[in-house]
Structure 1
Amino acid sequence: MAEDADRARKSTGARRNPDSADAILDAAEAVLVEAGYSGFSIEAVARRARAGKPTIYRWWPSKAALLFDVYQRLKRVENPDTGNLEDDLVGFLKNLFSHWHDTSSGSVFRSLIAEAQSDATVATVLVEYTKGRHAHTGQMIERAKARGEVAADVDATLVADLVASFAWTHLLTNRLDEDEATLRRAVRYVVRGIAPPANSPPAIRQRSRRRRIVG
């Protein structure tokens, strides 16, 4: 019966049928809300969506792949474009922390990160997801380059990685209620660097140099 219902949805093999894909994603969201991450399964999604498991696995090769699609579907985080890189990154982090804190997506993503440490399939999906997200965040860096705020040889993806590392650390340690001053200070360290200003007194530069050598 499930297969008949699946055929009724006119599945098109590896190329997703939009209506069927939406029905499966709707079902996956519902299962996630009702059962949580630990109770989420392809079997439960198939029953709710009235779809065959082979179809789901044809479009999503693993539970992790489906969950990442659900996570991205739930994610509503704007990349600000204020004309100033520091303000853009602070606004982005505020939006991201708020989204993780106020919706179930934060716990889903935290669980996926944790599972990736012991499951190679989840780790592979996480790496691919991260590449896409860093490219997306890197657009703020590229815009800043065009405005002359950032040196032309700066690797936008690496800067995005630094920002993401700060965000992931706070997600994994349940510190999503940081105030704006803390977020701004962290962003400022990334944007401006931690070296003393070129025009600072020699003694300050020397103390900083000694700290680097000792460290």
Structure 2
Amino acid sequence: MSAQADSPMDTEQTARRSIGARRNPASQEAILDAAQAVLQEGGIAGFSIEAVARRARAGKPTIYRWWPHRTALMLDVYKRFKNARSFPDSGSLREDMISFLGDHLLGFWRGSLCGTVYRAVVAEAQTDPEAAKVLKAYQGERMAHSVRMVERAKARGEVPRETDGELVIDLIVSYAWHQLLLGQVDEAMDKVPAVVDTILKGVLGYRG
């Protein structure tokens, strides 16, 4: 008689044990799926590496090797959704900024798990140097993409060549963060055009 075939559970557990220092894409996605599920079911208070390990049937050492603390794992769950959204490119800086602030930031956080997760990441970064480092690196990545909206506007002659694109993005993002941390995202949505116009006309001398 031939040997009994491995059950799907045995095969999955073997695959989990084979995870090493290098991230296996399928295993990484399985862990992120588990992390998302834990966040959705238990919220921030119920989120931990231990809870994710149980849900993913993965070893805690493996998760800690890839994500050294829970903030890094939460941020990667957040990035799965955020990175799927393309930056606006309408041909108008004002329209791009309205879309960026209203849809890409406030609208993305509004009434969603993403807003709850990002607020927790920002809060933890205030007291945890490692969390702050992870958040700073993420913000650097986002800035590199966001500032291109201003650079395109310079090329079109909408704003002066000397315009500090990073400062423009910082002003937009800072307003969004403030509203998120105060739990005022819904109210802030109505002010998006006014905020953008104040920044573009008051700070840049916008001519559009």
Asked whether 1:102 is paired with 2:104, we answer no
Structure with more relative contact order (C-alpha pairs < 8 Å, separation 6 or more): 2
- Post-superposition CA distance 1:167-186 (Å, at most 9, x none): 10111112212466621121
TM-score normalised according to structure 2 size: 0.84
Deviation, structure 1 residue 125 = 1.1
Q: Does residue 101 of structure 2 align to residue 93 of structure 1? A: yes
Is 1:52 the counterpart of 2:59 in the alignment? Answer: yes
Change (3 A) 1:11 1:195: closer
Q: Percent identity?
A: 50
1:186 paired residue number: 195
| Ranges in structure 2 where 5+ consecutive residues have no aligned partner | 1-10
Match of 1:20 in 2: 27
Query: 1:45 and 1:181, CA in 2 relative to 1: closer, same or farther beyond 3 A?
Result: closer
> What is the distance in 2 between the residues matched to 1:89 and 1:155?
15
**1:32 matched to 2:39:** yes
Deviation at 1:194, TM superposition (A): 5.1
Q: How many residues align?
A: 193
Scaled by the length of structure 1, the TM-score of the pair is 0.82
Gaps of 5+ in 1: 198-215
Could you say what the CA RMSD is over the residues aligned between the two structures, in angstroms?
Answer: 2.2
Matched, 1:158 2:167: yes
Quote the residue 1:79 is aligned against: 87
Displacement after TM superposition at 1:195 (Å): 8.8
- C-alpha contact 1:27 1:45 (8 A) present in aligned 2: yes
SS of the equivalent of 1:37 reads coil
Distance 1:61 1:130 in 2: 19
